[in-house]
Amino acid sequence: MKKKYHLLVLLCLAALVLTVSCVSAPPPEELRAETPPPPAGGGTSTGTTVSPDSLPPGQADLSALEEAAARAAAARELLSSFDASSLFPSDWEAADSLYTQAEQQKKTSTRGEVQESVARYNRAADAFDSLIDKIASLYYEEVERELASAREAAINAGAQTLAPDLFSAADNAAAEVLEKFAAKDYYGARDSVESAWARYHQALAAAERQKALNLRANVAAKTEFDSAEAVYTRANTALSRQNYEEAGALYNQCSPLFAEASAVALEKQRLAEEALRRADQRVAQSDETARTAELILEGGMQ
């Protein structure tokens, strides 16, 4: 009987505990209300911050990458056009290796990847720029020598006097070359060099042509002059079309042809003068002979 009593007490206590637990537990709606919402982005609230470098890139990031890539590509193209790989092979290989690395490791998934790609392109561009300075210095020295030589040849041909307008135009083109080099407009400087060079040769050819005209070679040496004139016309056409290399080569070709026409005209002039001199001598001799005969006749009559 005592055991049954103990069992009954235990059952009552268990029922009491269960009742108290059910009364004190909040309803499901209250549990949901007290549960904090998850953080934005779908993650769980762990108390950690998201790194900006792991976020997707913005338009400004992508624009910076595009600009850096374009800068490196433009510098590389410029060096290729100036044959940098032959002039400075080791410098070219080092810079080009950085560019190849930037191209191969270009990534755009996150801001951090974009920034790293920008840095790689900028390193390549900086290396290319250093090489451009070397090439420009070397090229500038060569250009100065070539233009100085062409200018001196034009002066020696008398271009300053015989073709002053063309000589002045050549000087202006040469000055433009120096201005573009100073502004690091290397493409423009290169184009202005084939122009100044061609114009100095034009001035030289024009001077030789004027010499021939002064000697009337267009009449006295018509065949030679006409041959030179045909080439000169082609050169002027090439220059007007900005085909400076072709124009310069044609001016170089026609200059000695005009000089040859002048030489032929001079020789014909010399021969004509010699013939006149001999004719004068014959006339003088005839006059002398006539006077002698006259004197003889006068003496005989005495």
**CA–CA dist 277, 234 (Å, integer):** 41
Q: 10-residue block means of pLDDT along the chain (302 residues)?
A: 42 40 44 44 57 91 95 93 90 96 94 95 95 88 92 97 97 92 86 91 98 95 96 97 95 97 93 86 77 66 47
Say whether both 198 and 239 belong to one domain: yes
Give the burial class of 16: count Cβ atoms within 10 A of its Cβ; 0-12 exposed, 13-18 middle, 19 or more buried. exposed
Domain termination site, one of 156, 173, 199:
156
For residues 257 and 269, state if they share a domain.
yes
pLDDT of the residue at 20: 38
Query: Same domain for 87 and 199?
Result: no
Q: Are 113 and 63 found together in one domain?
A: yes
140 and 167 share a domain? no
What is the reported pTM? 0.66
In this structure, is residue 259 part of a structural domain?
yes
For residue 47, what pLDDT is reported?
A: 55
Structural domain contains residue 27: no
123 and 180 together in one domain: no
Q: How many Cα atoms occupy the beta-carbon half-sphere of 284 within 13 Å?
A: 6
**What is the span of the domain harbouring residue 123?**
56-156
Assess whether 264 and 177 both reside in one domain.
Answer: yes
So what's the pLDDT on residue 265?
Answer: 93
Q: State the maximum Cα–Cα separation within the chain, in Å, rounded to a whole number.
A: 214
66 and 180: one domain? no
pLDDT score, position 105: 95
- Residue 237, pLDDT score: 97
The verdict on 114 and 229 lying in the same domain is no
Q: Count up the domains in the chain and report the number.
A: 2
Supply the pLDDT for residue 52.
87
In terms of domains, do 108 and 201 share one? Answer: no
* CB contact set of 239 (below 8 Å; sequence gap of 6+): 198, 199, 202, 247
**In terms of domains, do 145 and 199 share one?**
no
Three-class DSSP labels, 165-182: HHHHHHHHHHHHHHHHHH
How confident is the model at residue 174, as a pLDDT?
A: 94
**Which tokens hold the place of 51?**
């790194």
